[in-house]
Chains A and B, each alone.
Chain A
Amino acid sequence: MRVVIAKPGLDGHDRGAKVIARALRDGGHDVIYTGLRKTPSDIVRIVNDEDAEVLGLSTLSGAHDSLIPKICNHLREAGLGNVIVFAGGIIPERDLELLYKSGVRAVFGPGTPTSDVLDFLEEALLRKQNKHPIGVGDDLGWHWN
């Protein structure tokens, strides 16, 4: 699948995002990495222009609770409701529900084996093919973990 890996906000931790980007490439995906410090509207523009099917957001700075819901809203407003959104980095347990409610379908913390992430994408693709809700604009009942 075409995947955009993005670093929203001022967060300068990029190791995890790069590790994930390489792992997805090695798993057979086409990966576009945005580089650091992107605003929500930058990210939505990149997802649109690259016609990506999946958006992976990496945040370690603690700003996930405001940035990620904002990005999800922007995506829906831009007619990109089909895009599958997932996230990773330092995200405390207590914020998971908020992210799921915003449209995020999976969250991966430190120490995640990359095979888990690939398994998620495989499942996500299956859901998409079977027309089960998976995009950020679809019904939000299902999430991976």
Chain B
Amino acid sequence: MALELSNINELLELAISGDRRSLSRLMTKIAESPQIPKFHSESSWTLGVTGPPGAGKSTLIGQMVKHWVTAGESVAVLALDPTSPISGGSFLADRIRMEGDDLGETVFVRSIASGNIPGGISPYIWSMCQALSLCGWTRIVVETVGTGQSEFRIAALVDRLLLVDGPDRGDIIQAEKAGILELADVIAINKSDLPRAVSSAQSIRTSLALSGDDSREVLLVSALEGVGVEKLISTIESCEPRSERNEMIMRERLISEWDSLLVTHSEIDEIIAKLCIGSITVNEAIQILSSSIVQSGE
């Protein structure tokens, strides 16, 4: 273990010095590491992009990347796609939509199969974002499908959150994903080139108005045609992370790190077996697990 960690720190140093091979290896090592490295960057700038499948998240990120690169930023994207529950494999397709003609040295894209890590991926994503920031990436974007619990967690781990919805989808958001609508700092309705986008934006505005003095704008964009992207970026850049957000980030970090300690605990299978035959109670199980988690965490 100690060896592993020193390896990770060496990779980090090489990556900070600008070695791209080491940066890439570092990302893999973090994802594979049994104990999540606790990197911390003072100046990280992270954006989560979430929303229903096919809303155009990747295409929109591709547009933002182009814009940022022209403005002299270096952009790293972590693109999450679900793992197939049947085969355990994944088809990581976000990258295709982001690849402009000339992504170069100032853009780093890593595709991640979200289901490969026991205990959920969000603590690892946090660590990767911090490492990327230490390596000098000034815009760090995490794309995630806005469904499922662990995806929700990721949304809470970033400094600012962009929700992307498509036309026809406003009502889905209202009905099922109200939570994510509340978390979002910026809301964009993509595919404004299609007729129903305007009414979709309107229905979201209506639902925001219901919850009182909500000042958030609902922006119309077309990732395909590049319309509205400048305005979107300036809104994102100027968004002051809300004061509740820090508390939310800390809460989600705590919950997801705790989850992952629990799920990767060496005795968990044994304890579940004991619970099944009734030789211990749930309370006793919690006691056993938490006392050894506390010890190993020191």
A residues near B, CB below 8 A?
21-22, 24-35, 38, 42, 45-46, 48-51, 78-80
Q: Do A33 and B108 touch across chains, with their CB atoms under 8 A apart?
A: no
Chain A residues with CB under 8 Å of B147's CB are: none
Instruction: Tell me whether B264 is interfacial, beta carbon within 8 Å.
Output: no
Given contacts A35-B99, A49-B20, A51-B25, contact A27 B89 (CB under 8 A): yes
Chain B residues with CB under 8 Å of A38's CB are: 99
Chain A residues with CB under 8 Å of B99's CB are: 34-35, 38, 42
Which 6 pairs show the lowest CB-CB distances between chains A and B?
A: A35-B96, A25-B89, A25-B91, A28-B89, A28-B88, A51-B28
Q: Do A22 and B91 touch across chains, with their CB atoms under 8 A apart?
A: yes
Most buried by A among B21, B84, B91, B110: B91
Q: Do A32 and B20 touch across chains, with their CB atoms under 8 A apart?
A: no
Q: Do A31 and B20 touch across chains, with their CB atoms under 8 A apart?
A: no
| In the complex, residue of chain B having the shortest beta-carbon distance to the beta carbon of A36 | B96
Q: Which of A25, A30, A79 contacts B21 (CB 8 A)?
A: A79
Chain A residues with CB under 8 Å of B6's CB are: none
A25 to B91, CA, bound (A): 6
Given contacts A50-B24, A78-B21, contact A31 B91 (CB under 8 A): yes
Q: Do B92 and A31 touch across chains, with their CB atoms under 8 A apart?
A: yes
A34 to B111, CA, bound (A): 11
Instruction: Tell me whether B116 is interfacial, beta carbon within 8 Å.
Output: yes
Known: A25-B84, A45-B103. 19 other contacts (CB 8 A): A22-B91, A25-B87, A25-B90, A27-B89, A28-B87, A31-B91, A33-B93, A33-B96, A34-B96, A38-B99, A46-B95, A48-B21, A49-B20, A49-B24, A50-B95, A50-B110, A50-B111, A51-B28, A80-B21
* 13 pairs of residues in contact across A and B, judged by CB atoms under 8 Å: A22-B91, A25-B84, A26-B84, A29-B89, A32-B95, A33-B91, A34-B96, A35-B95, A38-B99, A45-B103, A48-B20, A50-B109, A79-B21
Q: Do B87 and A26 touch across chains, with their CB atoms under 8 A apart?
A: yes
Chain B residues with CB under 8 Å of A78's CB are: 21
Q: Do A48 and B113 touch across chains, with their CB atoms under 8 A apart?
A: no
B residues near A, CB below 8 A?
20-21, 24-25, 27-28, 83-84, 86-93, 95-96, 99, 103, 108-111, 113, 116
Q: How far is the CB of A22 from chain B (nearest CB, A)?
A: 7
Q: How far is the CB of A33 from chain B (nearest CB, A)?
A: 6
Q: Do A31 and B110 touch across chains, with their CB atoms under 8 A apart?
A: no
| In the complex, residue of chain A having the shortest beta-carbon distance to the beta carbon of B104 | A45
Q: Do A31 and B90 touch across chains, with their CB atoms under 8 A apart?
A: yes
A30 to B88, CA, bound (A): 8
| In the complex, residue of chain B having the shortest beta-carbon distance to the beta carbon of A78 | B21
Q: How far is the CB of A66 from chain B (nearest CB, A)?
A: 21
| In the complex, residue of chain A having the shortest beta-carbon distance to the beta carbon of B31 | A51
Q: How far is the CB of A58 from chain B (nearest CB, A)?
A: 14
A30 to B31, CA, bound (A): 14
Q: How far is the CB of A26 from chain B (nearest CB, A)?
A: 5
A42 to B109, CA, bound (A): 12
A38 to B96, CA, bound (A): 11
Given contacts A25-B90, A33-B93, contact A51 B27 (CB under 8 A): yes
Q: How far is the CB of A117 from chain B (nearest CB, A)?
A: 13
Chain A residues with CB under 8 Å of B24's CB are: 48-51
Chain B residues with CB under 8 Å of A48's CB are: 20-21, 24
Q: How far is the CB of B54 from chain A (nearest CB, A)?
A: 17
Q: How far is the CB of B285 from chain A (nearest CB, A)?
A: 33
Chain B residues with CB under 8 Å of A32's CB are: 92, 95, 111
